[in-house]
A and B are shown apart, each in its own frame.
Chain A
Amino acid sequence: MSAGLAIDAALALVLPVLAWAVVATPDLRKAIVLFMALGLVAALAWARLAAPDIALVEAAIGTGVTGALLMSCVPWAESLTPASRRARADLALAGALAVVACLGWAIRALPEAGPGLTPAVLGALEVSGVEHPVTAVLLNYRSYDTLLEIVVLVAAAIGIDAVLPDDDARRRLAPPARSLVGVLSHLLVPGAVLVAGFLVWKGAHAPGGAFQAGAVLAAGGILLLFARRLRPVPFAARALRGALLAGPLLFLGVAVAPLVRGGRLLELPVAWAGVLILAIETVLVVTIAIVLLMFFPARVLASSRAPAATVEDPP
């Protein structure tokens, strides 16, 4: 057991140091690469903590998509005027240390073993329509949170479209040139689609589900975007908006149905629970994938094509 503890101690030590490296590195590109490394090392910690679901989502979304997003900002990041004249590093350090000290004191004061809600979750598992407890919590017990979370995703999509409308930036996209990314996408994209399908199906009785599948699918899509195989569909296109909103609207439909019969919001009938959850998850995968792809609108791709392209070429 001491070997396990040794690994835990090592990981527990490495993570904050790596985090400090990410935040303190002067060069933005290096910081982003370190950020992705931090995400991958963290995946080990999630494994040690027996949290496979989180490991999957953190790796796919927390590190993959976020990393790609941050990397796409590098070309124009330097031209931004800083937020405030003098960075209050010392004040922030004092504040952070104080906060960490208080929170540490509270964590140490927590009782050694906390039962949590495991007994309750496992007790009601048969009625929930799925075997995997995390999926049961996500899509049955606390499905209201998930519904609001999907709406948050849609809000982000609207916000991005409002802030960076994709007018005619798509015209300036270069034609698909042969590039390493192009070749790579031939190999990886089919695999991504397969993995996504598998994750959705597995979600019912093992770590998996809509978020992981959506993220993997989006990863494939992002590859195609950067390889110019996939032209970003403008948000104005009704088809895209239809596909995007199919998930949330179906979810809302399932939520409201019991209300009509005097039942409660999101009360899944026991017999149909499994099927409904699977249906919702499948449609949500499409929604999540589209929204994650929308985080890379045409304007971002257009300007990041020319490596030396600074922001001088007018928007």
Chain B
Amino acid sequence: MSAWQLYALSGLAWFGVGMWGLFAHAHWVRKILAVNVAGSGLFLVLAALARRATTPAPDPVPHALVLTGIVVGISATALALSVARRLAEVEATARLDEDATHEPAAPPAGADARAGGDAAPPPAGGGAPP
């Protein structure tokens, strides 16, 4: 059981835990966290396999692949979290509408109705895109 196999199997277990988390959790942010965990696990496996090289220094190509993988991983994570935040806002406005429709109080302060956003902004009342 050489060192690289130890790390490779450890990375594999780490990857398995991440994948379990992705499909087991129902909460969006927990899923995104789990995917990050799985990604790091996979990168450990890749680096461990690079260590099998007979030369003193490990094989540099997997290292470059891991670097690219990490950067791609964080880009996807950042986008996912932004979409999740946008979803939270839209759901919050929807929840406010339900409250508004029950008691006909003044419409919720649309102080911050997203004027600038030309992406079909949800007017304070929500509803179909214009």
Contact = CB atoms under 8 A, between A and B. Distances in A.
A28 B81 contact: no
Contacts of B49: 107, 110, 114
Given A8-B3, A169-B112, A19 B14 contact: yes
A314 B93 contact: yes
A311 B86 CA distance: 11
Contacts of A89: 24
Contact of A51 (B16, B20, B50, B76): B50
A163 B83 contact: yes
B79 A91 contact: no
B23 A95 contact: yes
Contacts of B66: 51, 54, 57
* 8 tightest Cβ-Cβ pairs between the two chains A and B: A116-B59, A167-B116, A23-B21, A156-B75, A16-B13, A12-B10, A100-B16, A133-B60
8 contacts: A45-B10, A73-B85, A80-B28, A87-B25, A96-B17, A96-B20, A137-B63, A167-B116
Interface residues of A, number: 113
A54 B11 CA distance: 14
Interface residues of B, number: 95
B19 A99 contact: yes
Given A57-B67, A100-B13, A116 B116 contact: no
Given A12-B6, A69-B77, A121-B59, 19 more contacts: A5-B6, A19-B37, A70-B29, A80-B91, A83-B31, A88-B24, A103-B15, A110-B49, A111-B52, A114-B49, A115-B55, A116-B58, A134-B60, A162-B119, A163-B85, A165-B114, A211-B70, A295-B82, A314-B108
Interface in A35-79: 35, 38-39, 42, 45-46, 48-51, 53-54, 57-58, 61-62, 65-66, 69-70, 73, 76-77, 79
A163 B110 CA distance: 19
A124 B87 CA distance: 50
Contacts of B29: 28, 70, 73, 77, 80
